């Protein structure tokens, strides 16, 4: 009986621990994404919640909400640039971005570019 109780408590504690770890992990990914976006001048043309030259990251997240190939499509589009999805104004190519950076940026954009706090 005591064994069962202790087992349960351990389980709850480790579950809480895992939930805590997850949010720390998520927020550090968000801040990495924000740094990459700043360093590559993305935020000169894209704001989180309003159109500047390009669509806001929240609009982009909404547009691709149910699109399972969005991740691959957008990584490619960001790297190569191009026009036609949102209008006639093209996005310039961003060839300096590595695949690892794109793998942080794109999921962040697809979540509507959350900031940490």
**Cβ nearer to ligand HEC, comparing 22 with 39:** 39
Would the CA dihedral through 29, 35, 41, 45 be positive or negative? positive
* Residue 86 interacting with ligand HEC (CB under 6 A): yes
Which of 54, 56, 61, 104 touches ligand HEC by CB under 6 A? 54
The number of beta carbons lying within 10 Å of the beta carbon of residue 75 is 18
Name the region of 87 (left: φ>0; alpha: ψ -120 to 50; beta: rest): left
Which of 34, 56, 61, 78 touches ligand HEC by CB under 6 A? 78
Stretch that binds ligand HEC, among 9-17, 22-30, 50-58 (CB under 6 A): 50-58
CA 78 to each of CA 4, 13, 24, 56, 71: distance values in angstroms, whole numbers, following the listed order: 53, 42, 27, 14, 11
Which of 14, 28, 85, 116 touches ligand HEC by CB under 6 A? 85
**Cβ nearer to ligand HEC, comparing 13 with 93:** 93
* Residue 50 interacting with ligand HEC (CB under 6 A): no
């Amino acid at each position: 009986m005591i064994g069962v109780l202790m087992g349960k408590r351990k389980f709850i504690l480790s579950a809480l621990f895992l939930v805590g770890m997850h949010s720390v992990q998520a927020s550090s990914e968000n801040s990495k994404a924000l740094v990459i976006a700043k360093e590559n001048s993305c935020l000169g043309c894209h704001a989180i919640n309003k159109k500047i030259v390009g669509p806001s990251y929240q609009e982009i997240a909404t547009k691709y909400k149910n699109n399972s190939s969005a991740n691959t499509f957008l990584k490619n589009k960001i790297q190569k640039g191009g026009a036609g999805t949102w209008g006639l104004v093209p996005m310039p190519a961003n060839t300096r971005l590595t695949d690892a950076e794109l793998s942080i940026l794109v999921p962040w954009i697809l979540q509507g570019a959350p900031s940490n706090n």
